[in-house]
Chains A and B, each alone.
Chain A
C-alpha cells in the first residue's frame, strides 16, 4: 500500500533517491536544493542505501564525478539549483554528449545578478539546449512521480540521455503538502534493474569514451544524440501511461485543462499552473470560455502536442517565468510560435513574463492576463510581450 504522508518537494526528491538506491550520488549543497542531498546523505550515513556518496567541493566537480560514475555503467543521481547548475554548464553538455543517463533534481531558482535565492525558471531555461531532458512539476506529488519516471526515461536504450526534473524553489521545495509515497519494493519494480551498459572499467572489453572527435565523426555523434532526444518523444508518454496504470496518476507531455471549448487560454509551467487552474475555474463560473495548457515536458519540446492543443484557441497567453533578455520574449514564447507556424489556424500569441526572482504571483495577476487576452480577442489589437507584476 502507498503511504499518505506530508512532505516538501526537497523531501520527496530525497525519498525517491533513497528508494531508487543509486550506486553513486555526487553533489554539492545550494539553497534551496540543499535539503535534497542533506537528507539523502543522512540515508547514506544511516546505512539505508548502498550508495557511494561523493561530497565534492563544487557543482562542476559534482557533475564531473557523476559523469565518471555513469561512464562506468552505474546508476547515478544528483541535485542542484541556480548558480550550481550554471557552474555545471560545460559538464552538462558532456553528460548528454556521452549519452549518460544521469538523473538530476533541479530546484528552480533565479540566476544572479542581482543575487536572489527565490524561484524563477532562468536556471533550467538557460540549460535548455544542453541535450538534457527537462520535466517540470506542478506540486510535491508530481516532483516525486516525475523523478521516478525520469530514471526509466534516461536509461531506456533508445534514449540514453540525462534528465533533469525540476520543482519550484521554496514555493514547492519548502512547502509541506500531502503526498502519496509508493512502497520501496514497488519503486524498485517500476524502475527495474540498471540496464547493462558498456563500462570504461571493463578491461576485458576496452573502449574509448569522450575521445577527440573532429570533422570526421563529431557530426555523426551529434546526429545520434539528436535521435535519442527524438526517441524520447515516443517513450515519455508510454512511461507516463504505465505509471498511471500502475499507480493511478497519469502523465503526458502536457495537461489540457478546460481547453476543449476555450476561446482564450494560457500556457504555463510549474507551481503557478495550480494557482491558474483555480482562476480558470472562477472565470468558468462567470461563463467565460477560458482554459489552460500546463507544459510538463520542455525538452524534448512536444511541438505536435502543443499544436493540437492550441490551434483552435483564438488568443493564447504564454507565461514565461524567465526572460531571454533578447528584446523579443522569454524562452517559452518562440517555441510555442514554432509549434503553431505550420498550423492553418494560428491563434494570436502574446508573451507574459512573470514571477522573476520569486515575485509573488497572485490570482489577480493571472486574472489580469486573462482580461488582457479577452481584450485582444475583442479588439484584435495585440502586442508581443508584457511584464506582469513588476513596477515600471
Chain B
C-alpha cells in the first residue's frame, strides 16, 4: 500500500456519506493507521448531492485541504453519476470507482467514459435485506475494504460491532443487520 490513500464519498443528504467516512476512519484507527474523516459542509439538504472524505496513512497527516485527487471514489447513489462529475480527479488507470447499483461495472464505466478500475455492488438491496431499510453506507464500507484491501475485514467487523453495541445496546437486530450487510457487500462486490 502507498503511504497515503485518499477516498471521496458521494451521496445524497441523509444517505450517510458523512457517517460512512467517520466509521471507515474509526476502523482505520483501530488498525493503528492515521486518518482524517470530514464532510464538505455546503448548504446540505435531504436528497441534495453531498461529499465527504477520508485520508488513511501510515504516517501522521498534516494537510487540511479537501481531497481533489482521490485514489478511490465511492458513490452511494447511482443517480448521482448523471448529475455530478464523480470521477473528477480520479486517476484514469489506477483510480478505483465503486458504485452502489444493480448494474454491472462495465455499464458504469461506459456511462462515465471511465477507464480505471470500476466495481459495483447492490448495497441498497443488501441493506434492505439485512437491516430492513435502504441505508447503503455500511455495506459500502465492506465493499470498499474488499476492493482496496486497505484494512483487514475481520478487524473492521469487530471494531464496528463494538461501536454499534454501545450505540444500539437495546436493538441487537440493528447490530447483526449491519454486520451482515458489511459481510455480504464484501463478498458480493465485483
Contacts and interface: CB of A to CB of B under 8 A. Distances in A.
B37 A175 contact: yes
Contacts of A360: 65-66
Contact of B37 (A6, A117, A361): A6
A360 to B, nearest CB: 7
B138 to A, nearest CB: 17
Contacts of A174: 38-39, 41
Contact of A168 (B37, B61, B64, B68): B64
Contacts of B65: 275, 360-363
A172 interface: yes
Contacts, number: 62
A136 to B, nearest CB: 13
A176 B41 contact: no
A176 B35 contact: yes
Contacts of A176: 21-22, 25-26, 35-38
A274 interface: yes
Given A5-B29, A6-B26, A170-B41, A275 B34 contact: no
B37 A278 contact: no
Interface residues of A, number: 26
B50 to A, nearest CB: 13
Given A174-B39, A177-B35, A4 B62 contact: no
A188 to B, nearest CB: 25
B35 A178 contact: yes
Contacts of A6: 22, 25-26, 29, 35, 37
B36 A175 contact: yes
Nearest to A179: B29
A177 B61 contact: yes
A174 B66 CA distance: 13
A241 interface: no
A4 B32 CA distance: 9
A361 B65 CA distance: 7
Main secondary structure of the interface of B (DSSP, over half): mixed
Contact of A175 (B38, B60, B62): B38
A158 B29 CA distance: 41
A74 interface: no
A272 interface: yes
B49 to A, nearest CB: 18
Interface string A357-377: 000111100000000000000
B170 interface: no
A282 to B, nearest CB: 11
A176 B29 CA distance: 10
A278 B65 CA distance: 11
A168 B68 CA distance: 20
A363 B67 CA distance: 11
A16 B42 CA distance: 29
A5 to B, nearest CB: 7
A121 interface: no
A168 B38 CA distance: 13
Contacts of A4: 29
B64 A275 contact: yes
A271 B36 CA distance: 13
Contacts of A175: 36-38, 64
A107 B37 CA distance: 18
B63 interface: yes
A306 interface: no
A185 B37 CA distance: 29
A27 interface: no
A178 B65 CA distance: 17
Contact of A178 (B21, B22, B34, B41): B34
8 contacts: A176-B21, A176-B22, A178-B29, A275-B62, A275-B64, A278-B62, A278-B63, A363-B65
Given A274-B63, A274-B64, 10 more contacts: A6-B25, A6-B29, A6-B35, A171-B64, A177-B61, A178-B29, A178-B60, A275-B63, A275-B64, A278-B63
10 closest A-B pairs by CB: A274-B62, A176-B37, A175-B38, A271-B64, A6-B29, A275-B63, A176-B25, A6-B26, A178-B34, A278-B63
